[in-house]
Structure 1
C-alpha cells in the first residue's frame, strides 16, 4: 500500500489546439490509445480523493493503480476525453481554473476554448472529480499574501457553490509552489495538492501538499507512455525538464525577493 503511484497529468485533448497549448496537448486518437493500453495492462484508476483516503486510512491500493488528471479545464476534456473514460470505466480528476471557464466568472486570458459551467457539472455528474487550480491561473508563489489567499479561496468557494460540493484536491498552476503557497492551500481547506515533479507519487517521500505527477504531452509516444505507467526510465525521460525546473526555481526566488525589497523601500 506504500508503493509509488503514477499520476498522469494531461492538459488539452484536441485535434487542433491553440499554439499556446500545443506542446502540452494530446490528440483524441493518442488519448484513446493510451487509455486502451491502461485497460489492456489491467490498471485500475483512482481519483485523487480516493488515493488520499486509502493512504490516510492504510487501505490497500488496487492492482496497478493509476490516476488520470487534467489541468485548466479545456473543452476537449468534455468533448473527447469523457467518452473514452466512459468506454473503459476509468475515473479521473479535473483541476479547473474557475476564472478561465466560460460563464459569469470569466476573467479572460484563457489560452484555448474552455469548458462552460454546464459542461463542468456534467463531468462532475459523470463521476469526474473536480479539483481546484486557482481562479485566474497565476504564478502563485509570486503573489502577495492577500492575493494568493483570494486566488485559492475564491476558486474553492465558486466550485462549492456551483457544484454543491467543495473540492478536496488542488493542483498548482505551472506546477510552482513554495512553503507559503502550500500553507495557503492547506488553510483554504484542501486535503492534498499536486505539483508536477515528473516522478511517481510517493507518500513516503513527498508531502501530501507536494505530490508528483507525470506530464503527458503531444510528443509522448506509446513506448514512452508505457515506461511512464510502469515507472521505468522516468528520470531519463524528464532529465531536461528537471534541469530547467531547478533553474526556474532560482530565478523565481530572485524575482520575488527583488519585488519584496522594492515594496519595503516604497
Structure 2
C-alpha cells in the first residue's frame, strides 16, 4: 500500500516515499524473484492458482506524482500497479488531510494516461469520505457513483474499490458488492477479510531491504488462511 511518490521531507502522515526509495524497493523486490502487478491482475491470477511470486502494488488517492514519478519506475522494473483515484476530486488536492501539505491529484488526462500505460485505475470513492460514518445516500453516491464517474473518464467500469482510510464494516462492504465491484482493498479488515476486504501492508520511506523482508514474511504468516490470497503491498 503506497500513496504519494515525492519528496518525503514534509510528511506528517508518513505516506510519502521518494522516487529513489521506490526505485530501491522495486529493485529489491525483483531481486527476490517477485513481480509487482495490479490488483486486477493479482485477483485474476489467484482465480487460476497462478499467484506465486506476484505482489499486488496499490497507490491510494490518485496523486499527480503517480504519473510524474511512480509510473516511470514501474515501467523500468516491468511492474504494473493499481492507482485508486477520486473522481469527485479530479485535478483537486488532498483536502481531507488537515495537516497538509497540499498535494495535487490527477486530472482526467493523467488518469487516462495511467490507464493507457497499462496501470489499473480503480475507485477510492468520490471524495475520500469515511464510509462507515456516511448516511445511506452518501454511501451509494461514493461507492456506486464513483464507479460511474470513473467509467466516464476511462471508458471502462473499474473492477476494484479501496475503502478510504481503510475503514470498512458490513454495511459498507455490501454496498461495494451491490455496486458491482469484483474486489476491494482495506488495511486490516479483521473478520471481514476476503475478496471484498483485502488486507494490505503499508510501505513507507523507512522501508529498506531488511524491513521489506520482515514485512513480507509477517504478511504471509498473518494472512495465510485467506482463501486465494497473495501478497499485497
Taking structure 1 as the reference length, the TM-score comes to 0.75
Offset at residue 74 of structure 1 (A):
0.8
Q: Which position in structure 1 is the counterpart of 2:81? A: 92
Matches within 5 A, 1:114-125: 114-125=105-116
Do the aligned partners of residues 65 and 16 (structure 1) sit closer, same or farther apart at CA in structure 2, a change above 3 Å counting? Answer: closer
More helix by share: 1
- How far the C-alpha of 1:53 sits from its partner, in A, is 2.2
Structure-2 change in CA distance of 1:63 and 1:207 (3 Å) = closer
Match of 2:6 among 5, 14, 22: 14
RMSD between superposed Cα atoms in Å: 2.3
Alpha-carbon offset, residue 166 of structure 1 = 0.4
CA gap of 1:15–1:146, structure 2 versus 1, over 3 A, is same
Q: TM-score by structure 2 length? A: 0.85
Give 2:194's aligned residue: 207
Q: Deviations 1:206-259 (Å, cap 9, x if unpaired)? A: 321111000012332331112223446987xxxxxxxxxxxxxxxxxxxxxxxx
Alpha-carbon distance between aligned partners in 2 of 1:107 and 1:70, rounded to the nearest angstrom: 15
2:95 to 103, 106, 109: 109
Contact residue 40 and residue 160 of structure 2 kept, 8 A: yes
Question: In the superposition, relative to structure 1, how do residues 188 and 17 fare at CA in structure 2: closer, same or farther (>3 Å)?
Answer: farther
1:78 aligns with 2:67: yes
How many Å separate the matches in 2 of 1:108 and 1:77? Answer: 14
Extract unaligned runs of 5+ from structure 1.
1-8, 200-204, 236-266
